[in-house]
A = this chain, B = another copy of it.
């Protein structure tokens, strides 16, 4: 298999959109999730993100990337003001509605209603869960890191997790493949995935 080499010279001479798609998909697949927030006056905001990263288990920290050009600013503003948000995994049957949250709706319009998903309120927080999501969690904002290109790493601590407990293995692992979640690459491509194998802790 002869691979072709692309270098900085290539992405300086072709049209921008080509390389935006190229680099958006280059990092492979990852989970797509819906982030739910509430404004101070109670308007529910929902936006799709595909940049979730595990940061640590004790305390349980998750990060996600806010990109300045593509991001609905409502999510960021609500997180800074209310200090909380929900992260909701997306199953196959939710894909079309979830993708539709990336459209630019007016600030006083809730994406839940616009795309046909159901806000589910928690007893503890103001940020809404997505009722249709099979695995979801509520986080409190902890810190943010500004990256050189203007993107931000948003760090939150998990306060509550909602899932079907039949998904749990004895060792605590969650069988995520059992919920028919989707994995995205870039902003437009969605994939299904299946469990293949579990490996042991590796020793030399």
Find chain B residues with CB under 8 A from A53 CB.
27, 30, 51, 53, 65
- Within A182-204, which residues are at the interface with B (CB < 8 Å)? 182-183, 185-204
Query: Shortest CB–CB separation between residue A173 and chain B, in angstroms?
Result: 4
Residues in B whose Cβ lies below 8 Å from that of A142: 148
Nearest B residue to A59, CB-CB:
B149
* Smallest CB gap from A161: residue in B: B6
Contact of A23 among B8, B51, B54, B199 (CB under 8 A): B54
Question: Across the interface, do B103 and A202 meet the contact criterion of CB distance under 8 Å?
Answer: yes
Q: Interface code A162-190, partner B: CB below 8 Å = 1, 0 otherwise? A: 11110011011110110001110111111
- CB of B171 within 8 A of CB of A17, answer yes
Contacts of A118 in B (CB 8 A): none
- Whether the pair A147, B16 counts as a contact (CB closer than 8 A) is no
A interface, by DSSP: helix, strand, loop or mixed?
mixed
- Do residues A183 and B29 form an inter-chain contact, with CB atoms below 8 A? yes
Within 8 Å by CB of A164, from B3, B11, B176, lies B3
| Given A20-B58, A53-B65, also A137-B26 (CB < 8 A) | yes
The 8 Å CB contact of A176, one of B31, B55, B185, is B185
Flag if B162 contacts A4 (CB, 8 Å): yes
A138 to B63, CA, bound (A): 25
Q: Is the Cβ of B162 less than 8 Å from the Cβ of A3?
A: yes
By a CB distance below 8 angstroms, the chain B residues around A136 are 3
A162–B5 touching, CB < 8 Å: yes
- A 9-27 binary contact with B (CB < 8 Å = 1; else 0): 0010000111111111111
Closest-CB distance, A119 to chain B (whole angstroms): 15
Q: Are B27 and A52 in contact (CB under 8 A)?
A: yes
A31 contacts B27, CB within 8 Å? Answer: yes
A79 within 8 A of B: no
Interface centre among A7, A25, A28, A102 (most CB of B within 10 A): A28
